Amino acid sequence: MSRRYLGVGIFIIVGLVLFALGIFLVGSRHEAFSRHVLLYTEFTDLDGIAKGSKVQVSGMDAGQVTRIEVPRSPSGHFRVQMKVDEQLHGLVRTDSVVTVDTEGVVGNTFLTIHSGSLNAAIAQAGSVLQSKPPVTMSDLLSHGLGIMNDADATIKQVGGKLNVALDGINGAVGNVNDLLLGLKEGRGPAGMILRDEKMADQVRETMSNVQSTTSNLNQASGRVNVLVANIQQRDLPQKLDDTMTRIRSASTRADETIQKVQQSLAQALGPDANGVTAGQNVSEALANANVATGNMAEDTEALKHNFFFKGFFNHRGYYTLASLSPEEYRHTKLFGSTQSPRVWLQADTLFRHGPHGPEELTPNGKHAIDAAVASFGNPIFTHPIVIEGYSDAATPADALSWSYARAQLVRNYVDARYPFTTKNIGVMPLSATPPPGLGHDGWSGICIVVAEKK
């Protein structure tokens, strides 16, 4: 009998302890046992804030919404009562601003009281703080999509105009050809001057066309910048993935267009040396266009970094080599993987000491690189390429700097020789230590990696 009492006693006591533990853990979360001050704020749109919603002060959990007064007329405001931990009261100043934020991708909405300025007085208990109206996601997205569509349209326009321009250039080149033929065939200089004026006009007109499209493009990229700033400020985009792909595809399209233009230009300007002047101008204009699209690419790049889930992008293979330390790089799944094809090239064959000190590529080395590029086949056009530099120099600083210099040398060579997109080629100085598990404990030279994600 006494044993049964003991058993039941233990059962009840442990149960009560668990209950108390639960209450304590829940309670401590909601600061039920600590001292509070009541503060107020007003919103026209609550964006899902409800009684019990969390309140943070400068990112720290500080309490919850305890009451919401509903306005009587549409012109009124929702008055929100917030219970804030006494400890954080000192951060809340009279000029503190309250915003509505969202936790993560799928999280609840909550209020953030931003800490005020040093000079302002501490907000008294019961005082009403300023608020900033929430920007709803859908607004933001439709705004963003609008900008994207504009950018798209502009880029199409650029494409179209460039084509017109190219027709002009073609015409101009044709004229030059005619002129040269005329000269060769012994037609008089008077005819030449007549023709030359026409041609000059045509070329000038073409140039101004190209320039105006470029400024259009720049404008578009400026608007993208605004969008990005918006998104960063809101710190929450739910469907950003969507937006991202749109931005990317838009910039890819721009790239494509420009590539086409370059090709047609190469065709147009290739056969005749006299077209060079006109060709250079066009090239410059196109370089401007490149800068514009480059800006766009950079903007998306910036998004990747400032956005709240870095892992979200890493998971999809968005890496920026510049932001990776050699140590991180060695342990990145994508690059450290045995699945990514690599070619190891020894320093002896690749480099020789140049006349002014630093190393330069040997002809044999260039052949070796050509062979390596050829051996990768198609994937090298569609995947990021990383050129890892290695050096077994005695001091760590030398090893790092030499390995960087070597990687740069090879990159410049590859970049100049093959039509790879510049941003697809990265360099990574790794001193003498390759990533683990690839069968090389140390290396001096170069390793070319095609990051094939499988």
Partner 1 sequence: MRWLSKSVEFVGKVGLFGLRVVVDSLRPPFEFAQCFRQLAEVGNKSLALVVVSGFALGAVMTLHTRNTLVTFGATSMIPAVQAVSFFVEIGPLVAGLLLAGRVGSGIGAVLANMRASEQIDAIESLSIDSFKYLVVPRVLACVIALPFLTLFMDFAGLLGGFLSEELSSHIAPILYLNRAFEYLQWSNFIAPTLKTAVFGFIIGSISSYFGYTTDKGAQGVGEAATNSVVLSSLLIIVADVLLIKCIFFLFPETAV
Residues that bind partner 1 (CB under 8 A): 4-5, 7-8, 11-12, 14-16, 18-19, 21-23, 25-30, 32, 50-52, 104-106, 108, 309, 311-312, 315
Query: Cα 227 from chain centroid?
Result: 13
Q: How far is the CB of 61 from partner 1 (least distance, A)?
A: 8
As measured in angstroms, the least distance from the Cβ of 453 to partner 1 is: 16
Q: What does the alpha-carbon distance between residue 274 and residue 173 come to, in Å, rounded to a whole number?
A: 8
Closest alpha carbon to 269 in 166, 162, 163, 416: 166
Nearer to partner 1 among residue 21 and residue 181 (C-beta): 21
Is residue 436 within 8 A of residue 332, CB to CB? The reply is: no
Nearest CB to partner 1, comparing residues 81 and 421: 81
**Closer of 307 and 376 to partner 1 (Cβ):** 307
Closest separation in Å from C-beta 334 to partner 1: 17
For residues 413 and 360, is the Cβ–Cβ distance under 8 A? Answer: no
Q: How far is the CB of 273 from partner 1 (least distance, A)?
A: 56
For residues 149-175, one letter each, b for 16 or more C-beta atoms within 10 angstroms of the residue's C-beta and e for the rest, the string is eebbebbeebbebbeebbebbbebbeb
340-367 burial, b at 16+ Cβ within 10 Å, e below that, comes to bbbbbbebeebbeeeeeeebebeeebee
Beta strand pairing call for 342-346 and 359-361: unpaired
Q: Which is nearer to partner 1, 106 or 273 (CB)?
A: 106
Cβ-based nearer residue to partner 1, 217 or 236: 236
Contact present, 137 and 238 (Cβ < 8 Å): yes
- Contact of 391 with 406, CB cutoff 8 Å: yes
| Token pair in block for residue 183 | 């000269």
- Residue nearer to partner 1 on the CB measure, 8 or 120: 8
Cα–Cα distance measured from residue 95 to residue 226, given in angstroms and rounded to the nearest whole number: 26
Which residues, at least 6 apart from 313, have a Cβ–Cβ distance to it below 8 Å? 304, 307
CB of 306 to partner 1, least distance (A): 16
The residue (of 241 and 348) whose beta carbon lies closer to partner 1 is 241
CB of 241 to partner 1, least distance (A): 11
Is the Cβ–Cβ distance between 55 and 106 less than 8 Å? no
Q: How far is the CB of 27 from partner 1 (least distance, A)?
A: 7
**Nearer to partner 1 among residue 25 and residue 322 (C-beta):** 25
Q: C-beta of 10: minimal distance to partner 1 in Å?
A: 8
- Picking from 290, 254, 257, 274, the residue whose alpha carbon sits closest to that of residue 169 is 274
Nearest approach, Cβ of residue 365 and partner 1 (Å): 43
CA 77 to chain CA mean position, Å: 39
CB nearer partner 1, residue 29 or residue 248: 29
